[in-house]
Structure 1
Amino acid sequence: MTKLRLGPIDDDKPVKVQVELPGSVHRDLLAYAKAHAEETGLAQPLTVERLIAPMLARFMATDRGFARKSRNSS
């Protein structure tokens, strides 16, 4: 089985935002939540809302263009 990129998720103080997702993205997030729960040993999958922020953070952390731009703006 392929290892997921998203590891355990820290419990951090949330900031509420509202976002609309296409149905296909929501279904994929539900499937990812299930796979993540199986891989990390969680009894219940996390909600889609709890997955979005860590996934975005991981994406931005591994985006080389964003990292270059962030370094240059400092």
Structure 2
Amino acid sequence: MKLAKLPDRTPVRMNLVLAPSLAKRLREYADFYAETYGSKEEVAELIPFILEAFLDSDADYKSKQKDDKRKKSSRLGSLQGLREPANDPGLKL
């Protein structure tokens, strides 16, 4: 099958406490969004996309993610050559 198993898509609720200055900046950003795109969105609706855009644009974070994935792939690759004794057709018990 070409399609991999779909990831967990269950939303996770998080409660945040923001400094008043950050809350004000987020409201201003929501206003700027409305001016730019002509549709008003609540700050709470924008926050997940703001966070995702931030993480996607952080080069150091993306580099670490690639390194971690490469290390994990390397460990899995070295384990693929190992077989469980019970599954080895050449093994006579």
Task: Identify the TM-score tier after normalising by the shorter chain.
Answer: 0.7 to 0.9
Listed as ranges, the gaps of 5+ residues in structure 1 are: 1-12
SS where residue 34 of structure 2 aligns? helix
Is 1:31 equivalent to 2:24 in the alignment? no
Structure 1 length-normalised TM: 0.74
Q: Identical aligned pairs, as a percentage?
A: 28
How many residue pairs get matched? Answer: 61
Residues of 1 paired with 2:16 and 2:57: CA distance?
23
SS where residue 20 of structure 1 aligns? coil
2:17 is aligned to 20
Q: Which runs of 4+ in 1 moved over 4 A?
A: none
Larger radius of gyration: 2
Structure 2 length-normalised TM: 0.60
- Offset of 1:14 from its aligned partner? 4.3
After the TM superposition, which residues 1-74 of structure 1 pair with which residues of structure 2 at under 5 Å, given as runs? 14-42=11-39, 45-74=40-69
Name the Cα RMSD after superposition: 1.7
Listed as ranges, the gaps of 5+ residues in structure 2 are: 1-9, 70-93
